[in-house]
Amino acid sequence: MKKLLFQFDTDLHPSVFDTVVGYDGGADHVIGYGGLTPDKVKALVEGTIFTRAPKDKKNTAIFVGGSDIVAGQALFTAVQSHFFPGFQVSVMLDSNGSNTTAAAAVAKLATSGPLAGKKAVVLAGTGPVGQRAAAMLAKEGAEVALTARTMARAAQACADIKTRFGVNISPVEAFDNEARAAAIECANIVLATGATGVELLKTEHWQHNNNIEMIADANATPPLGIGGTDMMDKGIGRHGKIIWGAIGFGALKLALHRACIAKLFDDNKQVFDAENIFALAKEMA
Ligand SMILES: NC(=O)c1ccc[n+]([C@@H]2O[C@H](COP(=O)([O-])OP(=O)(O)OC[C@H]3O[C@@H](n4cnc5c(N)ncnc54)[C@H](OP(=O)(O)O)[C@@H]3O)[C@@H](O)[C@H]2O)c1
């Protein structure tokens, strides 16, 4: 029986990245639907749960993606609201690679040193990756702050994280590189999760900061988020700090994403979100 992965995306066009990883993770066929909102998924979900016998339902799964993590969470919840005993399929949330990317970055940082009790700053942490990473760092016992170019954006992201994970993240307004350098002055861990191709710090903003122990940067598109690092850095030392570049931890992100897709087809009751994706990342790191 063919393994079918239904890709439910909150953006107009379902993510090509997620389609490719869907196939690479073991789906025989990936079917994408874009522009989805909670009120539009009932019939789609019914199509997944009513079509195969109980023993065969494990061959159908749903992947929720898109560039807005809050919209993704709402869609993920709506999908599951249409399940009932005996009628459900496995489901995964990974808007913009948020869970898998954040989990891989934080898990790799954890291999380089303890996170508990450390001061961590997530630069440009308002996107899907940054929000998940901030939550994971906080769950590991770090004291976490998150920056955005406006206080309103930072505060909203912290409130959304609190609602979902129950952890307190401090919002910080940091409009430019100088303000971001000030925001990391007391930080032990810096994780950059800014938009593709946006430089958040230059080398001089971090190289002489003696508080910083570890830096990770999610952006693999030049210019990198953290100047003076290399996207291939795999926990190497630069200016006395341990550096993880986007491709350096990205291999784990891809392996993790594929592993989660494969597990969706183990049975029809898998529910993959931040907590169990992060747990798997720590096993794989
Ligand atoms: N390494 C990997 O395996 C991997 C996998 C997936 C994604 N990624 C990367 O992870 C990063 C984060 O992804 P995402 O989807 O969470 O990002 P995103 O939502 O596109 O952007 C994150 C934040 O960047 C800030 N930003 C945008 N333009 C900016 C500018 N000109 N100056 C300063 N800040 C700016 C915005 O914050 P405010 O407007 O609130 O200031 C935005 O919320 C991206 O670089 C992405 O390519 C890496």
| Other CB atoms within 10 Å distance of the CB of residue 2 | 8
Domain with CATH 3.40.50.10280 in the chain: 4-97+252-284
Interval between CA 262 and ligand 1 midpoint (Å) = 27
List the residue whose alpha carbon is closest to atom 8 of ligand 1.
218
Long-range contacts (CB closer than 8 Å, 24 or more residues apart) made by 278-281: 278/99, 278/102, 278/103, 278/106, 278/107, 278/136, 278/139, 280/103, 280/256, 281/100, 281/103, 281/104, 281/106, 281/107, 281/252, 281/256
> In which residue ranges of the chain is pLDDT below 50?
none
Interval between CA 126 and ligand 1 midpoint (Å) = 8
Interval between CA 96 and ligand 1 midpoint (Å) = 10
Q: What is the pLDDT of residue 153?
A: 98
Is the overall model pTM greater than 0.75, yes or no? yes
Which atom of ligand 1 is found nearest the CA of 197? 45
Q: What topology is assigned to 4-97+252-284 in CATH?
A: Rossmann fold (3.40.50)
Q: What topology is assigned to 100-249 in CATH?
A: Rossmann fold (3.40.50)
Q: What is the pLDDT of residue 8?
A: 98
> Best substitution site from 67, 96, 254 to test ligand 1's pocket, by max atoms within 8 Å of Cβ?
96
Domain with CATH 3.40.50.720 in the chain: 100-249
